[in-house]
Structures are given as C-alpha cells and as structure tokens.
Structure 1
Amino acid sequence: MGADINVDVLVIGMGPTGLGAAKRLNHINGPSWLIVDSAEKAGGLAGTDTTDEGFLYDVGGHVIFSHYKYFDDCLDEALPKEDDWFTHQRISYVRYKGLWVPYPFQNNISMLPKEDQVKCIDGLIDAALTARVANTKPKDFDEWILRMTGEGIADIFMRPYNYKVWAVPTTKMQCQWLGERVAAPDIKTVTKNVILNKVAGNWGPNATFRFPARDGTGGIWTAVAATIPEEKKRFNKSGEVTKVDAKAKTVTLADGTTIGYGNLINTMAVDHLVEKMGDQELIKLSKGLFYSSTHVIGVGIRGERPERIGDKCWLYFPEDNCPFYRATIFSNYSPYNQPQKDVKLPTLYNADGSKASSSEAKEGPYWSIMLEVSQSSMKPVDEENLLKDCIQGLINTEMLKPEDEIVSTYHRKFDHGYPTPSLEREGVLKELLPKLQDMGIYSRGRFGSWRYEVGNQDHSFMLGVEAVDAIVQGAVELTLNYPDFVNTRQNTERRLAQSFTYDTKELPSHSRKASKAN
C-alpha cells in the first residue's frame, strides 16, 4: 500500500536547521520536498514565548552573530528593513564576591581581590610550565581547564560555572568541542593587566551581535518560514511525526497521513528519532548520549531600568548564592521585548515576596530579566520552588532590590536543553550518524547531530543547508564534519557565498576533492 504523499526529501522540524534545509531546497528548485513540525509555528529551540502581560522570553540566551554569508542573506531576505534589527555591543560580566568582573573572567583577574589574583597568577604560571613538557592531549575538559588556566581560575570560576551550565562535572566532559567557545588566557597580557590594573577588551565572535526589533528571536524564524511556500509546510497534528519506518522510507503523522520519502532530514533530537523508528540497536546506542534540561525563568519588573543594570547584556553566575548560571537583561535587547510604558499592570508581589502596597493596575515603564537554570540526573533542581529561589537569587546578587515590584513571571522547562559533549559522545555519534545516513536519514541540528560546538543558530541553519547539498550534489558537510574549520575562518566574503561555492584552497586537504561536487 502506497503512502498518501511522496516526496524526494522530507524535513522534520522547523527550527533553524529544518528551515535551513527548506530554504536551500526552495533555492535549488529541483527535488520535491515537504517540511513538517508538531508546533503551531516555526522556531523550535530558537522560539519566543509571550506572557499574558506582554513580556517576551526566548528559549534561553540567543543572539545573532554569523560565520556564513548564506545565513546572513537568508535572514536579511526575511527581515530586510533597517528597523527590523538592533545591533548591540556585548556588555557582559561575571558576578563574583559582589563584584562585576568583565567577561571573559580569565582575561580580567585584575579586577579580583589581591588574594585571588595571587591564586590565579600562581595557577597560570604552573599551567605555562606544565604546557612546556606536556606531550599528550588533555584527557577531558577538566584537564584542559587546568592546562589553560591553572588551579586558581579553575577553582574560582571555570569548574563551578561549567557545572552550573552543563549540570555535569568537568571531569565527565571531553574538550574537543571547545574551539572559540572558551578564551584561553595569555599569561603575559593577564600579568600586565594585573600590574597596571587594566581591563581586557572584548573577546569572541559575539562581541557585536544583532537582535530582532520585534517578536524576539522566534520572530526571525517565523519570518524565514514565511518565505517558504505554504503548500510545503505542515504544522500541529498534520506535522507531528509519530512513526518513522526506515525500511519502507515512510513517516506517519499524528493525523494518520503517511509520507514516503527518498531522503529524510531529521532535526528532532536523535534519541527521540530512533525511538520513533523502533530500532532497538540504535535506541541502545543513543543511550550513550547525555543531555541537560534547561529552565527558563522570566521576571518582569515595574520601574525605570536601574543604574546598576545599565546596558548590560548577559551575565554569568558561578557562585552558589543563586540557582541560575546566566541572566540576560532581555529588555535591553529591544524596547518591544516588554509592554510599553502606558500599559497598566497590577503588581503581583514585591521581590522579597511581600504583598504589594496596592492591587491597582498602574502604568510602567517596565524592564525584564531572563534566567537560565540547568538540570540533570547529576544536578537536581527543586522545580516547584525554582521561580521563588531565582527571585531570591536576584536579590542575593543585587540584580533586584527587595522592594522592586514584580508584575509578571514566566517559567518553562525544556527537557532537551544542552547536548552535553560527554566523554562518550564522539564514540556514539561516529557510529550512530553514519548508520542513520546509510538508511537515507540525515540527522542534523542542535540535538539531531548532538554537536554543541556547531549548535548556534547560524551553525544549525547551515547544517540543514549543507545536508541538502550533500543529498542533491554530493557536497561536503563542512559544519558537521569540520567544526573547527568553520569556527575559525574570518567572517568575510570568502565564507559561504550565496552561490554556495567554497575556496577549495582553504578546505582541509582530504575534503578538497569532494568539494568539487558543488
């Protein structure tokens, strides 16, 4: 019995990866295709929620910075007007012992108390001496930290912060994923800055970033989805996958529709995919992948943005006086991320939990904070009291004052929050992804291919684009297979051009021949 619908390429999921695949398929205008999603709108883990009061919150901290021209062009096509975007200079700090230490912490130990400066410098010197005689690669993330920063910075910041982020100890993580994610300190520069009491400048690819003026990060992806023909998209039950039959090459949707495909680009979590396939061997294999859940907490406050908050973007919290590892001043990204000043809202309660002085709805202005808390089997969370604990954490870190008026709260848990680069991860992926691909299934995306180092929005989008080119043209999937290469190239016209050609002189030597398939 044949399927109800037959296509050359079926795409599961309308997050950045699925939409990247759909955009490329639409540009090629060759194979027949369809994209499906169980949600009512596009965005996936790059979506945005809006509270009843009108406060917007992303699914965690997302900003737009890019390694690819193709990605930039697709976003500019979806949101082409100058007033569609705000451009920001990153202003980020680490909260430590009541101080705001400029990011990255390891480059700015000149801001620490003297006794901590001594610990950090001692550790950096020891690390530099050890590096001279080391003849093996670090066996895990913890050893990488020690080799790069020494015991002082490791104990003060790197170990506690990364545990709060990943919800696993650094000894249980590999270090191949790091690339441009973590700044390696230069001992000479750090020492000079300590002596001269100087602060290091901005570092990293997101020192300047874009953010959409309206509708949050999710607004980007609904706009991108709007550029895709309506007849190619299916949402809700008519887009929810309940079964994948890899042998018959069919997918069954929640409304009973069956779709036959030639190749499948999957962007749902790969552990969920193999469950829907019912393949016991792959299910067992996928159990070796570890992930953490993410709680996103939002707090809307009445009043002018305090001077202590200023123009801060996102902030890091390694200490245990708050449950969150990162706070984003979400109202600083766009004036439309919260209700306008003339909107009248009642005060729910004061930050210290005390009753508001009046139940009457009053005007703003308003500002907002978005918090992220990780959870795993190795790092449990009191979910029932998490919102209250986070607000107390905001008071403990002087982000809020006890008398601040809270007018809106938000709490949502995302079961699959971070794909952990565990020690076992690479062994699983090197077996799992090729087995799926042999079945005509390209599993890609933040959790589809489980590689955090290429899990930003631009990476995720291009994982979809490159999967299509691999299917249609036999092209090399650079982002999936060479993350260091795509992360270290300069952001220039030599990156992925709109014609999607590569400068083969810059490719890793063993991939040059395959690249000619473009």
Structure 2
Amino acid sequence: MGLKGKEQTVILGGGVTGLAAGIASGGLVLESEETPGGICASYYMGVRSGRVYPHPPDQEPAFRFERGGGHWIFGGDPAVLRFISRLSPCQRYTRNSAVYFPQWDLYVPFPLQNHLAFLPKEVAARALEEMVAQPGSAAGAETMAQWLEKAFGPTLCELFFFPFHELYTAGLYRAVAPQDPYKTPLHVPTVIRGAFGQPEPVGYNQTFIYPEQGLDHLVRSLASACRLQTSSPVRRIDLRERALHLEDGTVIGYEYLISTLPLDRTLTMSGLATSSRPDPATSVLVVNVGGVPGKRCPPYHWVYFPNSRSGFHRVGFYTNVAAHFRPKGSKSPLVSMYIERSFLPDALPQGDTLAAAAQAMVQEVVDLGYLEEALAVHWNTIRTAYTWRWPGSRWNQEAQQLLLENGVIPAGRFGRWTFQGIAESIAQGLMVGATARS
C-alpha cells in the first residue's frame, strides 16, 4: 500500500495506557486487534448462540467476561480515579478473597499470614513461631523463593507459598528476583493479632472500583476521545527513517513514538538488542465460564489454589463482585467465573492441546462443586502476562534506555516490564502523552 503519511505522535497498543496517551497527545493509536482494551477488554458471550460480542448484544442474553480475567481498579491517585469515574461511573467494592486447602476442605481468608486463626492449631502455632523468630530477615534474599521462606518461614511456604508460586510463576519463583512484596505484606504485629482471631485488612487491593457498565464501557469512552485505528498490527519499526511498517504494507511516518507493547517485542521490532540477558515473562491461559452454579460455589471474589489437578492457580467469580456479569433478565442464579493457569511462553499450548487444557480446567471446577452446568465457555491466551526479573539484572533499565536513545518511549505495564494496575497505567499514559503534545 505504501506511505500513508506522517504523524506527529504515534502510540503502539490500544490498551488503557495507549488510549490515555492518545487522549493526552492527540496522536494516532495503532491497535493490532479488532477492538481496543488489551487484557482489560470486556466481551460478551451469547447463551443461546455461543457467539462472542464486543458489546452487550440486544438479540440474546449474554455473559460478560474479560479477556485477561478479573481486572479490578485498585489504588490510584484520586484525580485519576475521578477521571476514570467521569468517563464511566464506578462502584467501590471491598476485597473478599481466600486460599483453598483441599486436604482440609478449608478456605482461609487472604492474606494467609494474617489469618492464622483459621488454620489447624498446630500448623498456626508453628507458622507464628517461625515468623516471629526472624522478623525483617527477608532482606538480602536473591530469589523469590528465598524471600518467601525468609519472610514467612518453612511451614507457610511448604503449605502454600511454594506450591502456589510454582503454579503462578510456571516454576520461575526459584530463579527470579523478589518483587511485588506489597502483594504479600508481612507485618508481625498484624500477624500476631490475626493468629488470635483479630485480623486487619491489608494489601494493595483492600478495596477497588469497577465500572458499572463494565471495562468495555470505560475502554470505549477512552477510545472515543482519541484517534484510534484498529486491526493495524505493526511489523517493523524503522528507527532511521522514523517509520512504522504495518502488516498490510502501509507505512506511517512519525516524529514521536510511544510503545506500550511488551518491552522485548518493541526491541525486536526495532532491530535493537541489549548486552544483558532478557528478563523472563510468563503466559496465562484464561478460561471464562458462565453457567449454573454448583452447590459448593463459594462467595469469594477470587480463590487462590496451592495445587490443582489441571494446573490452575486461581479461580475468580465475576458475579460475586457484581451481578451485571450475568445475563440480563436471567430468572435463576447464574455464575460468571474465570480460571487462570500460567505457562512459560514457549510451553503455551496450541490447537487441540490448548482446548484439552481449557476443558480440563472447566471439569475441575465442576468436580469442586463450583459449577453445575456450563452454558458458555471461552478462553484466551496472553503470551506476556506477568513480567519478572533475574537477580541482579539490569536488562530492563538497559532496554528502556536503548529505546529512549533511539526515539522510542516505552510506557505501561508491559512496555516498562513491571506490575501496575489500571489506574496507574492510565496515569502513566496521560503523563507520557502530555510530554508528546508539549
């Protein structure tokens, strides 16, 4: 097709960071998929037809699902939360999550370390003794496994933290550096109070907000305020000519380029390489299920599993957060849920193997009593879902600096190879986009 023209600013990726950058900069947002939103996109699946819709359908009742599983909006600057709520009115919820131990058929509220009173007495006593004996000793741990054991002791690690992280990190937890300690906070006085039945709410997501009309409404509101071009995958970034080569042959020039694509992918597309070993990532298979709840369907927003037959590490229940995830007008209680299983990227299944893995996950939640009958099943794979760091690695800093030196601004959760929520991602997009406009 040839040269389409030259843009002042182009943003790669139409997730929430890219859309926010597009609003702030006035630049062109290129999204490879047919619809924007990235892993935060909601979609709908018809009960009668099994058809997938990007928006709520009028012709049949449908379950609401999310591409990346439950993405709730936690934390965030008050100004950013107000910005989000003005685009799409939100409700605030208090987290209700738990860990399930099948050997005892026992649910323990999360964070586990703050609810020792729910565990068998001898286990709780041993775990408490270990955590009190070495408070603050996690400093200096080189790997996530070392950090977990130093922080929580061998009892809780053997019971939950090691087997859960084996599933969650697809086995990387013994090799990658500690990160995201706020996800599993350790405060000994709080642990002691929890051991005697007086737990306190802690963690980064004690409360969260969620749009009343779904994340798809928030994404559409963001998209309507910027220049978005969907179905536009970029094949190559020509740094010398400052041009983007799309898969369909179109070439778009740019003055200012923001990339929210995964950091390693942006490097490859740009023809750049670091001297450092690239940091790893894990992939996730998300299986969305709508149906008739089983007799043992729990009341939690999500449940963590230290072990499972089919390899999943978390089951979440959209409808335990908000009723609008079930089909409109449904006369009987229905459940909308998601199941997550992690893989190393090169081990992510395809074709029939992927279908078999997804079906095994659904069958296990049926066997757990969470689901009586599945009425809608749909799955998605996310190749770069969680990002990690090797101990002592400077790859992230080197990669970002290399891109900056070549006129590419990395932004967002995957663009900067870090963990951040929706609110922080939107804030970063607005900030980076504003610098392009100035």
In structure 1, which of residues 369, 375, 389 is the aligned counterpart of residue 337 of structure 2?
369
Deviation at 1:19, TM superposition (A): 1.4
Q: Which piece of structure 1 moves more, 313-322 or 154-163? A: 313-322
Q: Are residues 1:458 and 2:423 paired? A: yes
In structure 2, which of residues 76, 94, 108 is the aligned counterpart of residue 89 of structure 1?
94
* C-alpha contact 1:63 1:211 (8 A) present in aligned 2: yes
Deviations 1:101-136 (A, max 9, x none): 0111011111111232133123213433x83xx8x6
Q: Are residues 1:220 and 2:218 paired? A: yes
Matched letter for residue 318 of structure 2: F
Deviation at 1:379, TM superposition (A): 7.4
Equivalences for residues 396-435 of structure 1 within 5 A: 396-400=367-371, 404-423=372-391, 426-435=393-402
Secondary structure in 2 aligned to 1:222?
A: helix
| C-alpha RMSD over aligned residues | 2.6
* C-alpha contact 1:321 1:397 (8 A) present in aligned 2: no
Deviation at 1:468, TM superposition (A): 3.0
Deviation at 1:420, TM superposition (A): 2.3
Q: Are residues 1:49 and 2:43 paired? A: yes
In structure 1, which of residues 84, 100, 103 is the aligned counterpart of residue 107 of structure 2?
100
* C-alpha contact 1:86 1:333 (8 A) present in aligned 2: no
Separation of aligned partners in 2, 1:141 and 1:120: 19
Change (3 A) 1:249 1:377: closer
Structure 1 residue aligned with 2:320: 332
- Give me the identity figure in percent: 22
Deviation at 1:324, TM superposition (A): 1.7
* C-alpha contact 2:24 2:437 (8 A) present in aligned 1: no
Matched letter for residue 233 of structure 1: L
Q: Which has the larger radius of gyration?
A: 1
Matched letter for residue 99 of structure 1: L
Structure 2 residue aligned with 1:29: none
* C-alpha contact 1:322 1:396 (8 A) present in aligned 2: no
* C-alpha contact 1:17 1:461 (8 A) present in aligned 2: yes
Equivalences for residues 186-265 of structure 1 within 5 A: 186=188, 188-194=189-195, 196=196, 198-214=197-213, 216-228=214-226, 232-236=227-231, 239-265=232-258
Q: TM-score, normalised by structure 2?
A: 0.87
Deviations 1:298-346 (A, max 9, x none): 222226x857523x2111111234522111111223322121344xxxx
Which has the higher relative contact order, 1 or 2, with Cα contacts under 8 A spaced 6 or more apart?
2
Separation of aligned partners in 2, 1:6 and 1:406: 50
Deviation at 1:86, TM superposition (A): 2.8
* C-alpha contact 1:263 1:441 (8 A) present in aligned 2: yes
Structure 2 residue aligned with 1:109: 116
Change (3 A) 1:306 1:206: farther
Separation of aligned partners in 2, 1:139 and 1:302: 46
Structure 1 residue aligned with 2:285: 295
Structure 2 residue aligned with 1:120: 127
Q: Are residues 1:388 and 2:356 paired? A: no
Which blocks of at least 5 consecutive residues in structure 2 are unaligned? 48-61
* C-alpha contact 1:65 1:206 (8 A) present in aligned 2: yes
Change (3 A) 1:108 1:464: same
Structure 2 residue aligned with 1:269: 262
Separation of aligned partners in 1, 2:429 and 2:166: 30
Deviation at 1:437, TM superposition (A): 0.2
Change (3 A) 1:320 1:378: farther
**How many residues are aligned here?**
417
Separation of aligned partners in 2, 1:160 and 1:439: 42
Matched letter for residue 224 of structure 1: L
Separation of aligned partners in 2, 1:245 and 1:319: 46
Structure 1 residue aligned with 2:154: 151
Q: Which structure shows the higher strand fraction?
A: 2
Deviations 1:164-215 (A, max 9, x none): 112134221212x3242221141x4433443x3x15132123222111222x
Deviations 1:225-256 (A, max 9, x none): 1122xxx22111xx321221011111122333
Which blocks of at least 5 consecutive residues in structure 1 are unaligned? 27-32, 343-362, 474-518
* C-alpha contact 1:251 1:258 (8 A) present in aligned 2: yes
Secondary structure in 1 aligned to 2:361?
A: helix
